[in-house]
Amino acid sequence: MKLGDKVKFAFAKKEMEGIVQKFFAKSVYIKADFPKDKGKIVKRKIKDIKE
């Protein structure tokens, strides 16, 4: 996983897709487009991310 990669993550029993913005040892910040909030940044643990 690198900066700019597209990844999938779980959100409200759905799978959302976003782009990696920041990458740390155990967590990652993902920029995703939600229906009412475009460009929202969410934090997830690396173990919860699907590439």
> So what's the pLDDT on residue 1?
81
Average pLDDT of every residue of the chain:
93
Enter the pTM of the model.
0.86
Ramachandran bin of 4, using left for φ above 0, alpha for ψ from -120 to 50, beta for the remaining angles = left
Q: How many CB atoms lie within 10 A of CB 43?
A: 11
Domain boundaries, the chain: 6-48
